[in-house]
Structures are given as C-alpha cells and as structure tokens.
Chain A
Amino acid sequence: MTDELRVVGRDHPIADAALKVSGALVYATDMRLPRMLYAKLLLSPIAHGRVAHIDATEALALPGVVAVFSHENAPQRLYSRYRLLPDQDCPEDEPLFAETVRFAGDRVAAVVAEGLDIAAAAVRLLRVQYEELPAVLTAEEALREGAIPIHPGGNLLSEFEHAAGERPEARGNEVTVTVATSLPRAHHAALEPHSCIADCDASGKLTMWSPTQSVFGARTVVADLLGLSYSQVRVIKVPMGGSFGGKQEFTLEPVTAFMAMTLRRPVRLALEREECISSTMVRGASTSTVRVTADPAGVLKDLEVDTLFDAGAYGTSSIDYVDMMTKKLTRLYRVPQYRHHCRVVYTTTPVAGGCRAWGAVDITAPMEIAMDRLAGRLGMDPVELRLKNLVEPFDRELLTGAELGDARIRECLVRGAEAFRWDERVQQDPGRGRYRRGVGVACGAHKNGMLSDTFPDFSTMTLKMNEDGSVALGASLHEVGCGAVTAMRLIVAEELGIEPEMVSVTEADSDLTPYDFGCYGSRVTYVCGAAARQTAVALKERLLEVAAVLMGRPVAELCFRGGRIEAASAPGEGLAPAEAVMAAKTVLHEDVSVQSTHQATSNPGAYSAQFAEVVVDTWTGLTRVTDFLAVGDVGRAINRAMVVGQYQGAVQMGIGFALCEEVGLDTAGRVVPGGFKQYHVVNTPDMPDVKVILVEHDGDDGPYGAKSVGEISVVPTVPAVVNAVNRALGTSLSDLPLTPAKVVAALR
C-alpha cells in the first residue's frame, strides 16, 4: 500500500518546526496579556496536618501584592482534577486550597501580584501555623490497623478484582514462579514546567490558555467548580513542551481560573521544576506480584497478579489507572486463566496520576521480569518462551472478549530477534571481570483509543475548502509535541491529492472547534486520524455535489481525475476544485465545507518487542545501556521520522524508569529537593543510538492502517533493560530503579 501513498508514510518535519528552531513559538509562559498578574503558590512543607492559622498581613503589605488566597477565602467545594465528562465516576476529594494538608506540596495559599518577583517575595512573608498529623508514607502503612484516615472514607480508595477463564486441571508437573516487582514514584519530566493563564472579562466570561491534553475536560472541571455554564468558560490549547500524562489532569487550571474570576484580571500561574515534581502529579508507586504457571513445555496455564498502588493524597485517576493496568496482559499473552487483584490506597505523598501508557508500564515490567524468571526455571530461551504464548493476529483477548485486530507481536519479536542477533548474543558469556555484559528482551501490548464495553470513542472535525483549493481542518487537536497536527495534515493531503502545505489544522479551542475527548488513550492517530480521513472523503463528496449542480450533470457521472472534477463521459471538460469553490460562492451562494463524526468501532492491540544490551560496572553498580532495538507494530507509519523519533524518545524514558528515575521522599515525606539534580533523566552520553524497526501492514481500521505509537513505545523498555541486567549479573533484581547501590548490594 505504501507505494501508492504520496505523502503518508514518508519523513516529514513537525509542522511548526521552523517556529521552534527560531524561538518564535509562543508557549504559555511566553505570553503576556495587558494587566496580567502573576501568582505564586505556597505549598505545604509538611506531609499531613491542619492549617491552624494563616497570617497574610506582611505579605499583603508588600507593594504590588494584589491578593492572598487560601481556604479562608476560597470555595470549599471538593472536585476531581481528572474529570472529563460531567457524569463520570471520579472521586471528588480535592479542594482549591487545603485546610487539611495531605502531602508536602499540597496547595496552602497563593499570592497574586503585579510581578513574579513580588509574588515570590510575598509568599515568603506568609506566616502559617500547622497542627501536624501523623504522615502515612507507604501504601502498606496506610492499610495498617489504626492508621490515621487521610480522607473521611478511610485509606483504601478502591479494591477490586478482575478475573476470567478457568485454570486447566493441574497435572502436577507445572512450574510456577512468583515475582514481586516495585516501581517507584516517577516524574514525567516534560521539559516545559506546568503553567496556565486565565482571564475573566467584565461580562464574567472566563478564558484560559493552557498546555492541556483536553480543553473540554478543563472546561468541565473549572465550570462545575466555579458554578459557571460551559459557555462561560473557554479553554484554548496553547503549545505544549511535552506532557507524557503530566499535563493530562487539570492541576493548575481550577486554581488559576478561580483567582482570575475573583480579581477580574488575567492571572498567570507557572511552576518551577521542584514544584512540578512535588506538587503536580507523579506516576504512582506500585508493587505488583506476578504468579505465573506454565507446563513443562512453557505454555502458560495460569496468571495471577496482585497490585498494591499508592495513589498519594488525592484520588484523581488512580482507580481508572489501575483498572487499565488489568487490561494489558491478556492483550499480550494467551492464558487460560487470569486474575488481577488490586488495591488503590491513599497516602500522604505526592498525587499519582496519568502517565504515558497508563498502567501498561506498571504491569508489563512485573510480568516480563517474571517471564524471564520462568524461562530460567524451565531452562528455556526467553524469546522461545514468549513465542509459545503471545497472541496471534485476530485473537480475542480473554478478559473482555475484545478483538485484537491484526496483532503482529510475534512478527515484532521474530524480526527483532534476528536483527538483534539474539540467539548469538544471549549465549555470550557476561564475563567475570569488573564489567559484565548482558542482553534482555521484553514484549508489550497497548491499545488504540478509549473504546471499550463501557466507554465510547469518537471524534468530530470540520473541513472547508478555500477559494484557492487549500483547506482548513477544524479539529480539537491537542499537540503534545510529537506531531499530531502534522499527521492530520498528511492524512488530509493524501486523501485530497494536495500538498501538505495546502492544509491548515487547528488545535483545540472549546468555543470554536468541534468536540473531542483530547490527547490520551493512544487515540489520536487511530481515532482522530480516521476522523480526518473521513472528513476529507466527505469534502470530496461535497465538491462533487457542487460541481454536479454547476456542470448540470448527475453526481454519479462525476469523479476526480488529475486533480480536477470531470464527467466520465466528457474527459477534458470539468472544474478544478478551487473553481468549484469560487463558483459555489458566486453562483450558488454556498460554502464548500463539511462536518463529520467518526465513531470508533474497534480497539485493536498495539505492540512492541524490545531488546537491550547493558554493561554493568560491578565495582560502582553503574549500568550503561550500550545497544537497544525497538520493534513496533504500528500498522502504518503516517509520518515515519516522527514515529521513529517517538520510539527513540520513549526508550530514553524507559531506560530512566529502569535505572535511575525515582521521586525520592525523605523520612518526613518531603520530596528530596534539587529538581533534576536529584531526579536523574538520561542524558546524551548515557543514551545508546536506539534502532527502530517498524512492522507495517494493512488489516486494521486506523487511517491507512495506522495504529498508535506514543504509549506502546515505552511499554516493554523497562523490563528489557532489567532482564539484561539480571542476565549480565545472574541476579534477580526487581525493585526499581536499579540504582548503583541496589546493584552493588545484590552482588554482595
């Protein structure tokens, strides 16, 4: 199919690359509105306690300070920062400003001033007295008898079990391994810190500029909280310097909106790096114990997982996040019985929320580490063990019965093993000296959109043709930085037979662009991309209708040929689309534009197999990833360069999650200060040149067969690296990240 495609499937720079390399793209913190005020938050320095008294006298006396807000003068209504749909079931447990602080980083107060330096100085002048309560720093502690309840309903936010299938009769020769794997709190580390601007005009209309993943969700949360109608709140998506889930939930929007509405002036709230780490969202800490049973030939018979998930101080998305964890493993492996028992627990620690791949990383790491352990017990090659159990194309998965589509994980693994020379490299001796070398493999599964038995997925777009034949796609896109806008442009250009430069694409504006859920759930390429293509098809039909009237011929006789609309019976006669648009305006008094809604009817699996080589320094415990191959079942690359780039970036994140990234807390529950000094993100010298192989094929419903990339790309990285370290050292490490200290301790 690729040969027939003109623009789809080739390498294209991201649409706004020229703006980005010249420093001209305006991100939220680059904006300045007339009379704009600057807000600075006072974050709780303690993990748990009551705010007994706030003395703002000195702060308010500072010239330039406009207001101080706290629980004393803000609405007390509790809300969920995660809510997208008004009737969604989300725990409402968070106030704008805390009277009871529930983690070090909780919002206690905010100062709004004429300048940022004034606001920062005034925050230091706020005198707050706290009555401390016992901190609860781990999920285990939170569940202990007599633990202090963090919220009125107690510390167990949710407990549930998903189970399906039946375990075949035991023959007595099965092999079972049980492995507990812990993942720490992680920071998304988008390079752009969180920021948001809100303004409220004299009519009471609130406008917000936010690098958000969902303008409609932000609108829902803000309007419901402040008692406004949805038409009184307009949210405009502005350029975003990365998110990875960290900006999915509405962390800053509610408080910024409240301050702007109260003051009737534009207010900007922008966080510093340390504040991003401690006070926005983290990937929650979790421990999952995998108990997997196979027959002597390595065929899985039973899979049980128990997960204890630390939601932190507020519920936000944690229940859904853990629910999503459940649904990943049966997309990957055939197994007769699967059971996942989950507990989601409040603690007085930073708030957990959405993070790239939404639980797939968190459960695939335990599973794939356990699979290597199982391979070891069976004396079987890890690739061979996986090939005995991976799903086949067009399987239905066990848990929900969903069709997996043309699932090509086996092809990913086989092609990857060959390109990586797995058979040869897995045999190599790790060495006996200071440096030990090892290779590791892991597989992962994810999804394409939010469609499930309980949730819909669809996207609406408009497309109009201009008088010169160029087109404008009206869509609620939320570019996170990896090229969603560019992908839509390519799809529309491909379908209409025009150059990508002839297609303009909007991002989301809750007042102006059609409804769309937002950028998450690996839905943009698969669902929005299909909507873009469908809308382009609808525009072609509309052009034919218009041309039929203008040419006085039946529509059925007309077709597109060589970029013109012609009658089959009269070649040479006809109209260019631009001429049809002009004539529609002047002769028919009509516009050539369409609106179309694409409803997703499938949610196939997205897959990746990844291979890592590491060298571990046994003296220092430092691990270096020296070679890495990622193979992705992407269906079809819409923009090849960006697909490869997303894979390479995902591997950088996954290597960090495996080896060094952890939001550390001190004994009082405070995030260890230091920003990126403490939170180590993998930098250039420590990154291998990641090789990427794309498995492409027809067979799924996405545009040109395309499937999701941005989340699946990170799913198998952590266990591939961990399995490589364990092979190099002969260890069975599974407490992440594998810091030098842990490696050295394991070797003692």
Chain B
Amino acid sequence: MKMSLTVNGTRHEVDVRPTARLIDVLRDELGLTGTKEGCGEGECGACTVLVDGKAVASCLMLALQACGKEVTTVEGLAHGGELSLLQRQFIAHGAVQCGFCTPGMLMSAQALLMENPTPSADEIRTALAGNLCRCTGYSAIIAAIRAASGREADRADGSA
C-alpha cells in the first residue's frame, strides 16, 4: 500500500505491506538504521521514535498508523551537522557505552524534555522505565538528561 509520512522533516512516499511495522519502514525502506531493534515486543525501548512529538515503540506500531504523521528518529536530533545539547550531554557524561540502547534512550528523553523541560531525577526515571540498558546502570544517562534539562546535575559519574 502507498502511504506518506514525514520523517525528520522530509516527506516520504513509500509502498508498504499492510503488516509492516514502522521500524521496518524506517530501517529498511528509508535506510534510517539508527533506530534499533532489541526485542520486537515493546519491552526494551531501543526502537523508540517520536510520532507527533510522543515517544513510541516503533516495533509495535504499524507503518500505516504513522500515515500523515511527523516521525522523528535519532538521525533527526542533530541540526546542520551540530549535535543537540541532549546528544552532547550523553557524550560528556559517559552515558554511552555499547550504544545499542542509546538512540531509544535519547528519543524517550527528548519526548520527556519537550513535555517537561525541567524534570526531576524521579520523573526522568519514570520516563525511561521502558528503556533498558545493560551497560551503564542508568546513572550516567540520568545525569546527562538532567544536564540537558538545564538543571544543575549531580555528579555524573557517581563517584562518592
């Protein structure tokens, strides 16, 4: 079926199977492989993208459900070759290890900051509840998001 959707500001016409998931269209049709698949069942958050500004597991959403909508993927966070503040804080705080959870973490954090520009640590934890990370123990990720939110971050590395 033909459909159109806007991804990172660009409108695309794509021909999709009715059963195709949004993640398949992003990765396979549009070549936006930054969005990762860690489980395919809505449990790990690696595939999180924004659909009309809301964080969505793109492995659970049919591509057709995104018809006519604005989708933002991790590739859409940087502007004019400049990483966003959130991306830069992830780097600066050591919030990135293997990087497989990172795109999803960034998109969940982006959705949170768009809705609540100054979240508390607990609000961040709640917003990231659906994003698993096996490498970092989350502390550096939370510190990076707090720093991007403009709040004074706690010591990023957890050193006591």
Contacts and interface: CB of A to CB of B under 8 A. Distances in A.
A687 B138 contact: yes
A14 B136 CA distance: 12
Given A192-B100, A641-B157, A692-B159, A482 B83 contact: no
Contacts of A649: 97, 133-137
Given A419-B160, A644-B158, A685-B129, A30 B102 contact: no
Contact of B99 (A241, A674, A689): A241
A394 B38 CA distance: 45
A230 interface: no
B94 A11 contact: yes
A684 B142 contact: yes
A21 to B, nearest CB: 4
A265 interface: no
A400 B137 CA distance: 35
A482 B99 contact: no
B118 interface: no
A20 B98 CA distance: 8
Interface string B133-154: 1111111111000000000001
A645 B91 CA distance: 13
Nearest to A31: B33
Interface in A1-55: 11, 13-14, 16-27, 29-30
Given A244-B134, A645-B136, A684-B128, A191 B46 contact: yes
Nearest to A270: B37
A419 B158 CA distance: 13
A705 interface: no
Given A22-B34, A642-B97, A191 B91 contact: no
A191 B43 contact: no
B158 A691 contact: yes
A623 B137 CA distance: 18
Instruction: Tell me the interface secondary structure of chain B in the complex.
Output: loop
Nearest to B17: A117
A23 B98 contact: no
A645 B157 contact: yes
Interface string A646-676: 1111111100000000000000000000111
Contacts of B140: 641, 645, 648
Interface in A597-645: 629, 640-642, 644-645
A14 B97 contact: yes
A676 B158 contact: no
Could you say which of A14, A16, A239 has the most chain B C-beta atoms within 10 Å of its C-beta?
A14
A242 interface: yes
Nearest to B74: A23
A21 B38 contact: no
Interface in B39-70: 39-41, 43-44, 46
Contacts of B103: 23
Contacts of B73: 23
A20 B134 contact: no
A681 B46 CA distance: 14
Nearest to A26: B33
B75 interface: yes
Contact of B44 (A29, A191, A481): A191
Given A273-B38, A273-B40, A652-B134, A17 B91 contact: yes
B125 A685 contact: yes
Interface residues of B, number: 61
A646 B124 CA distance: 21
A444 B21 CA distance: 46
Nearest to B101: A191
Contacts of B139: 645, 648, 687, 689-690
Given A22-B74, A193-B38, A689 B98 contact: no
Given A14-B97, A191-B132, A272 B40 contact: yes
A23 B138 contact: no
Nearest to B137: A648
Contacts of A22: 34, 74-75, 77-78, 83, 87
A480 interface: yes
B114 interface: no
B160 A242 contact: no
A529 interface: no
A30 B33 contact: yes
Interface in A184-226: 188-193
Interface string B88-113: 00111110111111110010000000
A173 interface: no
A305 to B, nearest CB: 29
A474 interface: no
A269 interface: no
B120 interface: no
Given A23-B75, A692-B159, A192 B98 contact: yes
Q: Which of B33, B74, B106 has the most CB of A within 10 A?
A: B33
Interface string A679-700: 0010111010111111000000
A21 B106 contact: yes
Given A13-B91, A645-B137, A25 B99 contact: yes
Contact of A20 (B99, B128, B141, B142): B99
Nearest to A483: B97
A390 to B, nearest CB: 21
B96 A17 contact: yes
Given A681-B132, A687-B139, 10 more contacts: A20-B96, A22-B77, A22-B78, A29-B33, A239-B99, A272-B39, A481-B100, A629-B160, A640-B159, A652-B136
Interface of B: 17, 27, 32-41, 43-44, 46, 73-75, 77-78, 83, 87, 90-94, 96-103, 106, 121, 124-126, 128-142, 154, 156-160
Interface of A: 11, 13-14, 16-27, 29-30, 117, 188-193, 239-242, 244, 272-273, 419, 480-483, 629, 640-642, 644-653, 674-677, 681, 683-685, 687, 689-694
7 contacts: A14-B97, A23-B103, A30-B27, A191-B133, A482-B98, A648-B136, A649-B137
* Top 5 closest pairs, chain A to chain B, by CB: A23-B34, A481-B98, A241-B100, A648-B137, A20-B99
